[in-house]
Amino acid sequence: MNHPDKFGLGLRPTIHDVAHAARVSLATVDRVLNGRNGVRPATRERVLAAVKAVGYERDVAAANLSKRREYRIHFVLPAGPNSFMRGIEDEVASLCGPARQDRVQLSLQTVPPFDAPGLVTALHAIDPKRVDGLAVVATDAPIVREAIDGLVARGLPVVTLVSDVPSSRRGHFVGIDNVTAGRTAAGLLGRFCHDRPGDLAVVAGSGLVRDHVERRLGFEQVIRTEYRQLKVLPSIEGLDEPDLVDELLSDLLAQNPSIVGIYSLGAGTRGVSRALTRAGLARRPWTVVHELTPHARQELRSGVFDAVLHQDIGHEVRSAIRVLRARIDGRPFVPAQERIRIEVFLRDNIP
């Protein structure tokens, strides 16, 4: 066993060690650590120096035990049939049951989709005294940004989930890099179509949500610089509703016979496959969509979809909780651990 304690360890220092090193009492250390008043600046400095010197880190478990802390975390997400959002709901629900997290209490509410004022109303109704952390699937609009900033200003840690509001003061965005997702789709479609110049259709949900905008952006970046033989058509906006998507895409396919590829970057992908199968084209366009729903899985198997880009809902919900817990405790989190991966599924690697 040739590991002569290759990596350092030893027992964790406690507040006792800090108190001893700073030559003050436990009470004073506690006052400094918990930001209570009644400590002379000079003494405070001495304590903080001692903390660094002995390498003290608060034992969060012990602290929480003592405080009887509960992390009340609230989720706000769009209502509607979007199976991705319903998946988040299920995931949150599953974390409330018997396998309930350490001291985490989850609650959840839904708001109308693609509706900034409705979301703002809901955010204003949140009482920072009754909630310790907030995760929100946001519509990107100035009034939403203001509502989020207001909650942050009142001391409530907030993370955005799935779709970001980058200009806001939210503490973190939990979700995939949507520009990269669009680039990935483009990279795949570009390679799939490398022998077949033509047009690419883009099916979006709405230009109002950030994730859709960013995916389109990334997609176009790559196609226009790397795959000049392909042309990206203007987006269809199907509001994530299968029927509307079906209708709009069917029209487009009928009018434009040179479509060789389709990128569906929102929800409502049932509409895509319906339009495709009904069109009865001689040669099917290469198709890349988002989110591995049961339906998408089936279409992948049957060869209607060629690739599905996916984000793991469970990972996102757990990540949101971890990040909020850290922010509530005033701890840093490990960014690398919180990177949400874009998964690529082909018919050959469906889990």
Residues 205-264 that bind a second copy (CB under 8 A): 222, 226
Residue 39's binding partner out of DNA, a second copy, none, with CB under 5 to 8 Å set by partner kind = DNA
SS3 288: strand
Least spacing, CB of residue 246 vs a second copy, in Å: 26
Pairing of strands 343-345, 104-111: unpaired
The option from a second copy, DNA, none interacting with 108 (CB < 5 to 8 A, set by class) reads a second copy
Question: Binding-site residue total for DNA (CB under 7 A)?
Answer: 31
CB atoms within 10 A of CB 279: 15
* Contacts (CB under 7 A) with DNA, residues 17-46: 23-28, 30-31, 33-34, 37-40, 42-44
For residue 284, the tally of other CB atoms under 10 A from its CB is 15
Of the two residues 45 and 226, which places its CB atom closer to DNA in the complex? 45
Instruction: Decide: residue 184, CB within 10 A, 0-12 exposed, 13-18 middle, 19+ buried.
Output: buried
Contact status: 183 vs a second copy (CB under 8 A): yes
Contact call for residues 230 and 260 (beta carbons, < 8 A)? yes
Segment lying near a second copy (by CB under 8 A), choices 122-130, 141-149, 205-213, 239-247: 122-130
Asked if 272 and 250 count as a contact pair (C-beta separation under 8 A), the reply is no
The answer to whether residue 11 forms part of the interface with DNA (CB under 7 A) is: yes
Q: Which does 16 bind (CB under 5 to 8 A by kind): a second copy, DNA, none?
A: DNA
CA atoms within 13 A on the CB side of 60: 12
* CB of 190 or CB of 238, closer to a second copy: 190
319 binds DNA (CB under 7 A): no
Place of tokens 């939990």: 174
**5 binds, options DNA, a second copy, none, Cβ within 5 to 8 A by partner type:** a second copy
Please report, as residue ranges, which positions from 10 to 39 form the binding site for a second copy (by CB under 8 A).
none
Nearest CA to 199 out of 267, 263, 258 is that of 258
Q: Is 66 in the site for DNA (CB under 7 A)?
A: yes
> Reduced to 3 states, what is the DSSP secondary structure of residue 118?
helix
* 190's tokens: 């570009």
Q: Contact, 165 vs 146, CB < 8 A?
A: no
Which of 36, 67, 191, 301 forms a contact with a second copy (CB under 8 A)? 191
Residue 63 found at the interface with DNA (CB under 7 A)? yes
- Whole-number Å distance between alpha carbons of 347 and 244: 27
Nearer to a second copy, 36 or 331 (CB): 331
Q: 131-155 in b/e burial notation, b at 16+ Cβ within 10 A?
A: bbbbbbbbbbbeebbebbbbbbeee
Binding site for DNA (CB under 7 A): 11-12, 14-16, 23-28, 30-31, 33-34, 37-40, 42-44, 56, 58-59, 62-63, 65-68
